[in-house]
Every structure is written in structure tokens, then in C-alpha cells.
């Protein structure tokens, strides 16, 4: 049995708390919001964000950050991505050397263009930081529906330890050393999901969504490979797998926000209506900035930014995507070799 601290009591943190408890571990859940902890203590249910999922009577809930960290074998960092840095900074004084921290949020910091694990490592350099990602809506994990996911770590023994910790009959866990690729896929699929939602809001069909998913993963993979990620990551669970579920499911807050924008709502109105952090909005500018930095063409990411932040109409953005210059779908590898260009895979 491990002693685990869940830092963040939103839907995903709550679902993972129940999963880890059911795996035989002792679990403490922390939130910065006293009213959230009061609700969890009184009802043993995250009524606002994960209604219907009942938590056990002996699960612990607290607003005391130190108590949720000290003496824990593993910390699961489950705060929304915009709060990763500030929360990590507050955690730092309580963290022991080699403390295992698993980040489960998805995003890229807008100003620094750092991934979330990079932020945690910067704020808590003594920690052993890993990531958990994949097609995994909290609403389904909380209900015990079968899910498959990937844990990414730079250390094989840490990856295998966490694999054993999270693995269950309904939660299959793979391991990977491509932490960067996992995080880029996780963050940028949310931006593509906004585009898919916008297309739904405009009344477009399945063909449009299939095109967005397919060309979206091509954009993400181009950037990821340029930054040092591995091609197989982007065509695996944390790339195309997570992208498909986020673009297709009404559990996806990014898709729901996109639908509202496609129907004419502003970005601010859509975020208010969804009532949870829409991660894709925060990752959109960072994704476009990375495309510029690494000289990678990412037209879907670019058009989402124009709709979100420049007042461009959604229908105009789709039109511009359709009328771009003619392209080939896949580069002929023979041309790359003839031009002495190294292919990262």
C-alpha cells in the first residue's frame, strides 16, 4: 500500500483519487478552496465537477498543503495547467529529495513555452517528475469504465513503479520515456478539439471532423518531431488516441467551448458557460508561438488563435483552411534522402 497525495480536487484529481484508493492505497485529497473540501467531507462527492461518483468514507480531504505532501510516497499534481507553476512553487518547501510527482494536467505555459513537467522541475528541482496522459475523461474513469493510458518518465524504474501503482482491471497503463512527446500531444490536442467543436457549432459534418483530426495530428507530430519527440508517440494513445476522444466526446470541455464559439459566442462567453478551465484556450498561443520558433507549419493552430484572440469569424477561418495553397499529403522519403535531410524516425 502506498500513501498518496492528490493535489487538486477537480474532476480528474477526484477520479484518480478513487482509482488509487480502489487499488488499495491510502489517499489524501487537497484543494486550495475551503468550500470544495467542505463539500467533499460532507457529501464524499465532487458535486460540481464529477457528480454521481461517490468517494469512500475514509478518504482524507484537506486544505493543508503540507499535510497532503509530507510522508507521501507519490504526489499526483492535478491542478489546471494555468496554476501548475504557482502550486509547484507553494509545494517546493515541503518536498523531499527524490519525491515522485506525477503531473496529470495538460498544457504549455504561454510566456515561457515550457511544458508542465519542465515547470515542475524548475520549481522543484529535487523532485522525480513524471506525467500521466491518454484518452481518459474523468467522467468515465470515475465510473470504472475501461481506460488505457500512458505514464511517461525519464527513469525506467519510476515508470514501472507508477505503472504498477495505477494499473487496475479497468485502467491499463503503458510506459514511455518520451515525456516531451506525451506532453505536446496532450496540450495541443486540446487546441484541435476547439477547432472540432467550432466545426460542430457551424453545423459541419463527420467529414470535416475527420479531416481536422487527421490534419491536426499531422501538425502536432511535425512540431513534436522538430522539438525532439518520437513519431510513434504522436500516433499512439497520447497523440491520436487522446485527440480522437477529445474531438468526439461531449465530456470534452474544449469541444463544448468550441461548439459555443462556432454558434457565435466569444471565447470569454464560452469559457463561462463551460464552467471549467478550457485548457486549449491557454495552450493555443503557446502552440502557435512554438510553431513560429521551430518554423513548422500549423495552419489549424494558427486559425484557432485568430478566432480566439483576433476576432476572426469561425466560418472565415474554415474557408481559409480549405483554400490554402495545394499540398502533398506526405513527403516522399526518397526526396528527403536525396536532399540529405535526416528523418527523426
Residues acting as catalytic residues: 189
- Report the distance separating Cα 231 and Cα 241, nearest Å: 14
| Main-chain phi, psi angles of 132, to 5 degrees | -130, 125
- Measured CA to CA, the distance from residue 333 to residue 38 in angstroms comes to 59
156 vs 12: CA distance, rounded Å: 25
Q: DSSP letter for 239, please.
A: I
DSSP 134: S
Sign, CA dihedral 325-331-335-337, equals positive
Query: What is the rounded distance in angstroms from the CA atom of residue 184 to the CA atom of residue 189?
Result: 8
What is the C-alpha to C-alpha distance for residues 61 and 86, in angstroms, rounded to an integer? 21
CB 175 within 8 Å of CB 153: yes
Q: How far is CA 259 from the centre of its chain?
A: 19
**How many C-beta atoms lie closer than 10 Å to residue 191's C-beta?**
30
- 61: three-class secondary structure by DSSP: strand
Q: Is 6 left (phi over 0), alpha (psi -120 to 50) or beta?
A: beta
Phi, psi of 206 (to 5 degrees): -65, -35
**Distance of alpha carbon 104 from alpha carbon 117, whole angstroms:** 10
Please list, in sequence order, all residues whose beta carbon lies within 8 angstroms of the beta carbon of residue 194, skipping any fewer than 6 positions away: 254, 255, 257, 258, 261, 278, 280, 281, 284, 304, 308
Amino acid at each position: 500500500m502506498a500513501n498518496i497525495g492528490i493535489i487538486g480536487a477537480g474532476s480528474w484529481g477526484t477520479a484518480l483519487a478513487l482509482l488509487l484508493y480502489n487499488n488499495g492505497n491510502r489517499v489524501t485529497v487537497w484543494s486550495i478552496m475551503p468550500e470544495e473540501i467542505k463539500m467533499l467531507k460532507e457529501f464524499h462527492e465532487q458535486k460540481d465537477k464529477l457528480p454521481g461518483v461517490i468517494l469512500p468514507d475514509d478518504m482524507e480531504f484537506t486544505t493543508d498543503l503540507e499535510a497532503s505532501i509530507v510522508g507521501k510516497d507519490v504526489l499526483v499534481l492535478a491542478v489546471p495547467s494555468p496554476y501548475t507553476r504557482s502550486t509547484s512553487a507553494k509545494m517546493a518547501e515541503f518536498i523531499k529529495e527524490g519525491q515522485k510527482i506525477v503531473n496529470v494536467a495538460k498544457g504549455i505555459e504561454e510566456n515561457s513555452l515550457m511544458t508542465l513537467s519542465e515547470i515542475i522541475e524548475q520549481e522543484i528541482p529535487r523532485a522525480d517528475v513524471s506525467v500521466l496522459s491518454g484518452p481518459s475523461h474523468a467522467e468515465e474513469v470515475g465510473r470504472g469504465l475501461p481506460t488505457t493510458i500512458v505514464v511517461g518518465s525519464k527513469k525506467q524504474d519510476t515508470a514501472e513503479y507508477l505503472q504498477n501503482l495505477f494499473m487496475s482491471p479497468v485502467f491499463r497503463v503503458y510506459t514511455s520515456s518520451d515525456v516531451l512527446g506525451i506532453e505536446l500531444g496532450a496540450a495541443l490536442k486540446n487546441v484541435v478539439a476547439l477547432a472540432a467543436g467550432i466545426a460542430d457549432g457551424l453545423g459541419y459534418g463527420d467529414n470535416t471532423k475527420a479531416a481536422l483530426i487527421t490534419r491536426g495530428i499531422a501538425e502536432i507530430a511535425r512540431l513534436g518531431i522538430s522539438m525532439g519527440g518520437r513519431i510513434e508517440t504522436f500516433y499512439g494513445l497520447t497523440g491520436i488516441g487522446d485527440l480522437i476522444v477529445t474531438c468526439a466526446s461531449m465530456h470534452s470541455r474544449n469541444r463544448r467551448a468550441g461548439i459555443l464559439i462556432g454558434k457565435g459566442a466569444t471565447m470569454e462567453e464560452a469559457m463561462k458557460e463551460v464552467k471549467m478551465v478550457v485548457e486549449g484556450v491557454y495552450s493555443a498561443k503557446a502552440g502557435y508561438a512554438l510553431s513560429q520558433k521551430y518554423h513548422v507549419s500549423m495552419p489549424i493552430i494558427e486559425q484557432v488563435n485568430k478566432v480566439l484572440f483576433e476576432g476572426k469569424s469561425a466560418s472565415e477561418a474554415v474557408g481559409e483552411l480549405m483554400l490554402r495553397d495545394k499540398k502533398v499529403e506526405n513527403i516522399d522519403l526518397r526526396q528527403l534522402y536525396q536532399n540529405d535531410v535526416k528523418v527523426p524516425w
